[in-house]
Every structure is written in structure tokens, then in C-alpha cells.
Amino acid sequence: MTTSAPTPFGTRLRAAMDARGPLCVGIDPHASLLADWGLGDDVAGLERFTRTVVDALAERVAVLKPQSAFFERFGSRGIAVLERAVADARAAGALVLMDAKRGDIGSTMAAYASAYLDPAGPLFSDAVTVSPYLGFGSLRPALDAARAAGAGVFVLALTSNPEGTEVQHAVRPDGSTVAATVLRALKAENAAEAAEGRLGSYGAVVGATLGRAPEEACVDLTIDGPLLAPGIGAQGATPADLPAVFGPAIKNVVPSVSRGVLRHGPDAASLVAAASRMAEEVRAVAE
């Protein structure tokens, strides 16, 4: 009996963005947000917050992005909340991008890949964020696991934090920056899907805040895969900044917003309205 290959993440992401709008909403249960919602900074508060966001948005937005650290800080009970959120969000039709930023070598990287990219695992997600700063080749276990599962990865390239420049803008002996090297490697990973006219499954994290310093964006962002763009909202960028940063690659941009939507909770209708407004603003500048 033959099993058909899973639909690649890039194909599923394109369909979700076309149907629901190009937006990723983070699930970031900061202690301050829990307090703003009138919730305790404990597992009960975490669960109420997370369930409210998933129930309100999982049937409406293209991507939900839980930040693993805010669940891990509560130990095993927090991870249990995360497991349920991943399962419920995927069951409601949202793609889940696990924001874990894992990066290691050899068997350890393979173990991280198994945690998030094995369809049999309780934390299996549609995609995961990873760090390439032990060398892009160290990501091979995650890249291969994603391909086998029809999942995706988003690799840190040009992040929205100012400290990132000391590594990402470092110049290699061949004259390329580290960020440019990461982006070239991702384009190569996406070549097979691009040759068939499909969006690749291997994405980059590129901060929307680069619009404040256009010289920072002088790299080739046409990687034939998705570009996760954090920095909208609390970090100061807006959807109007996206064309200047991403240029011809804007159709592949997945803008990520967390507090800009979450601060409208705990009222579910207000969360839906905020996410819908943001998705429409993004759609308007991307067309």
C-alpha cells in the first residue's frame, strides 16, 4: 500500500493566505498581557488566555504562532497547554508556526526536529523557527524532517532586534554578509518547488522594522519561499512599511503581529476585529 506524499507547507501556506488573508498572529502570553486581561500569571491564566485566542482566531487567520518560551516557563503543565493549543488550532484550520528558535548540531538538532516536525509527536506543528548560527548545514535534520512531513521551517536571517546586526551583517571572506548567505541557502532549498511554480516551504525571518534603515535591506529577498516579518505593532513597524522592505517579494510576506492584536482581548469579538483590520491593511499594500 502506497502512501501519498503530504502536501508541502508552502502550498498549504499560499492557500491559507489566499483564503484568510496574509497574517500571522502570535500567541505570546507575557505576564503583562495576562495582567491586562485580568488573569493570574499562573497555569490557569495561561490556559484561559491561550484558549481564548485559539477559539477566537484559529478559524479566521492563516497562521497562529505560539511562542514556546512563554509556555515553557510553567514547566510540564505549561507544555500541556501548548500541546492542546497546537492541536486545537490545527483542527480549526489555522497553520501553526512554533516559535521555538531551536538551533544545534547533529543528533541534538535531529531531536529538536523530532519534537516539532514529526507528525506523530504531540507538538507537531506546520512549521518551526530555527537559528542557523551554528552554520546553515547544522539545520539539515530539520530541513529533511520538514520535507518528509510536508512541514516548513523559518530560518532567522535579518531579525528585528538591533543586536542581530553584529552577527547577521558580519561579512564573510567572499564578501557576502552572513544574512545573504542564509538567504541564498534557503533559495537553493526552495528550488524544486519553485521550478513547479509553487511557493517553497523554507522561509526566512526578516524584520519589518528594516524599513527604518533601508541600507539594511540591501539583500536579495527573492528566496522563492515565505518571509516571516515580525516587528509590526509594538516594535513600531506598520503594514505600510512592507513594500519598502520587501519590494518584489512582498507577495510572499507573512506579517507577524502579537501584542497589536492580543491587547484587544479578552473580548473575542475585539480580537477578531483587530486581526481582520490588520489582515486587510496588509492585503491592501501587497496588491
Q: How far apart are CA 265 and CA 251, in angstroms?
A: 29
Q: All 3 cell numbers of residue 284?
A: 491592501
Three-class SS state of 248 = helix
Q: How far apart are CA 253 and CA 251, in angstroms?
A: 6
Run of H or E residues at 202? strand 202-206
First-to-last C-alpha distance (Å) of the chain: 44
Q: How far apart are CA 101 and CA 178, in angstroms?
A: 17
Q: All 3 cell numbers of residue 134?
A: 551554528
Q: How far apart are CA 131 and CA 142, in angstroms?
A: 11
Q: How far apart are CA 53 and CA 84, in angstroms?
A: 13
Tell me if 227 sits within 8 A of 179, measured CB to CB: no
Known active-site residue 187: no
The residue annotated as part of the active site, out of 65, 101, 187, 251, is 101
How many Å separate Cα 59 from the centre of its chain? Answer: 18
Question: Which residues face 153 on adjacent strands?
Answer: 128, 202
150-160 exposure pattern, b = at least 16 Cβ within 10 A, e = fewer: bbbbbbbbbbb
Tell which residue, 120, 101, 102, has the closest CA to residue 111.
Answer: 102
Q: How far apart are CA 142 and CA 235, in angstroms?
A: 29
Active site residues: 101
